[in-house]
Amino acid sequence: MFQHISEFYSWFSKRTANNQYDVQQIPLENMGGWGISYDSGNITHVSGKFFSVMGVDVTTDHRATERWQQPIIVQPEIGILGILVKVVAGTVYCLMQAKMEPGNINLLQLSPTVQATRSNYTRVHKGDSVPYLEHFITPRPDQAVFDTLQSEQGSWFLRKRNRNMIVLATSEVTVLDNFCWLSFDQISTLMAVPNLLNMDSRTVLSGIPFLFSDVYGDRLKLSKSSGLPHTSLHSIEYLLSWFTDMKARFSLARELIPLRTVSSWSLTDGAIVREDGRHFSVIGVDVRASNREVGQWSQPMLKPSQRGVIAFIGRYINETFHILVHARTEAGTNDIVEMAPTVGCIPSNYDGMASEDRPLYLDVVREAKVDSILVDVVHSEEGGRFYHAENRYLVIDAGEDFELEAPLDYCWMTVDQLTSFVRYGNYVNVGARCLLSCLIEESASLAPKLVK
């Protein structure tokens, strides 16, 4: 355990120095172990395992475009993202791992204790190559205090979900190389450091409030005067009814199609790119690492065209901070809509467009003044599938002049109301969960500043 956060930085920089990596972009056709099907153009591993890149045809009445085609990652297996925690003298500590992923900015980031695929954790032979996995698979000695299936990026994954777990260790845990205990307060501080806590960590950590709601749950109650009762605009019944209405009202139909036939996309110069260069491309990478089970491998990755913005717009209502949640439909969304940030897009996709053609509320975020910014940090998405996929995570206090009226697929709720949906799975999308993780820290440090 680190007495001071500077000790962590020192440890982490040693990890970086000790592990040598080299990641090079290569043509998709040259990836060892992966093939492009002659018939379909789909990209699959020779073993049939891991994941595939296919095409999808999407029809919905809940996007600006009624029908489109795009490449998408298909990975039906449910993996485990698990953090082992312990409590010492009333403080929660998380066992975190310094882990390299080829798509990571800085290559090395902090990941959960375990990232495991289903083949890892259901295998009969207990020759586990994944350290600490025994704490996360039944029968296990410890208690899972948070354990739910959560979706991942719906624009890039078809119905992907992983099992997010927080397990309370009940016996002594040996700390292996590349692992360290960090107190939850230290993690909260590190959450403000760009590209350090990886996406897998951030999504699991959004479950922390359920672990010790008396300590950490209270941080989510952003009210102007801490003595006041916490008052939400809507009841939980209202929010559930709104969300049900969205699922009943809108439709989303998907059909897998051969990647080769996806319109407006083509295999050009070793990558699959969109004619207009927007959204993302599919590239190949070659990885050489000293620190992984396999010393060298190739794989396809999705590379976004530019940095994205994932933002909640909020304001005080009844002296309590509320955020404007969007019921959002994406190509790969599991069940029509999920609760999402107010804005989630790559702004440069809309450069030069008229205001009415840009995503709703994007301009409000772009024009936000320094004093209104509660959270502002750049994090990157899962480095095992996405190459340098950076998003700027923002929470804006738009002020009490910001109009309460919003389109029917937006709804105001408090931060702890949104948090309460996280434990049930498939309610809150990955962008919103990551923002909630950022807010746990901000709630503690910024709420007092906001008392007028």
| Residue 416 · residue 323 · CB < 8 Å | no
List, in sequence order, every residue forming a beta bridge with 58; answer none if it has no partner: 68, 254
Task: Give the residue with the Cβ less far from its own copies, 215 or 373.
Answer: 215
User: In this complex, which beta carbon is closest to its own copies, that of residue 217 or of residue 425?
Assistant: 425
Q: How far is the CB of 423 from its own copies (least distance, A)?
A: 6
Among 63, 221, 249, 274, indicate the residue that binds its own copies (CB under 8 A): 249
Is residue 237 a contact residue for its own copies (CB under 8 A)?
yes
**Interface with its own copies, residue 363, by CB under 8 A:** no
Of the residues 88, 240, 404, 451, which one makes contact with its own copies according to CB under 8 A: 240
Q: Which of 104, 111, 117, 148 binds its own copies (CB under 8 A)?
A: 148
Q: Considering the rule CB under 8 A, would residue 170 count as an interface residue with its own copies? A: no
One-letter amino acid for residue 427 of the chain: Y
Using CB under 8 A as the binding rule, whether residue 276 contacts its own copies is answered as no
**Tokens 């709703």 map to which residue?**
360
Q: Check residue 78 for interaction with its own copies (CB under 8 A).
A: yes
Residue 288, interface with its own copies (CB under 8 A)? no
Of the two residues 47 and 138, which places its CB atom closer to its own copies in the complex? 138
Number of residues that bind its own copies (CB under 8 A): 28
Residues in region 124-143 near its own copies by CB under 8 A: 138, 143
Say how many C-beta atoms besides its own lie within 10 A of residue 226's C-beta: 12
**270: region left, alpha or beta (phi > 0 left; psi from -120 to 50 alpha):** left
User: Which residue, chain included where needed, has tokens 């051969």?
Assistant: 258
Query: Binding segment for its own copies among 11-19, 245-253, 289-297, 363-371 (CB under 8 A)?
Result: 245-253
Nearer of residues 12 and 184 to its own copies, judged by Cβ: 184
C-alpha R_g of the chain: 22
Minimal distance, residue 186 CB to its own copies, in Å = 24
**Pattern 389-408, its own copies, x by CB under 8 A:** -------------------x
Residue placing its CB nearer to its own copies in the complex, 165 or 190 = 165
Q: Considering beta carbons, is residue 152 or 441 the nearer one to its own copies?
A: 152
| Residue range at the interface with its own copies (CB under 8 A); choices 170-178, 254-262, 309-317, 422-430 | 422-430
Q: Which one of residues 149, 176, 228, 450 is an interface residue with its own copies (CB under 8 A)?
A: 149
> What amino acid is encoded at 283 in this protein?
I
Pattern 86-125, its own copies, x by CB under 8 A: --------------------------------x---x---
Among the listed residues 46, 248, 294, 354, the single contact to its own copies using CB under 8 A = 248
Pairing relationship of beta strands 108-111 and 296-304 according to DSSP bridges:
unpaired
**Phi, psi (deg, nearest 5) at residue 261:** -95, 0
With binding defined as CB under 8 A, does residue 238 bind its own copies? yes
Tell me the two tokens of residue 180.
């360290």
* x/- letters, 336..355, toward its own copies (CB under 8 A): --------------------
* Alpha-carbon separation of residue 12 from 99, 107, 108, 293, 377 (angstroms): 10, 12, 9, 20, 20
Question: Could you report how far apart the first and last alpha carbons of the chain are, in Å?
Answer: 38
Q: Between residues 249 and 288, which has the closer beta carbon with respect to its own copies? A: 249
Among 163, 315, 379, 433, binds its own copies (CB under 8 A): 163
- 265: Cβ contacts below 8 Å, ≥ 6 apart: 55, 69, 70, 71, 272, 273, 274, 275
Q: Write out the residues near its own copies by the rule CB under 8 A.
A: 78, 80, 118, 122, 138, 143-149, 163, 165, 210, 237-238, 240-241, 244-245, 247-249, 408, 423-425
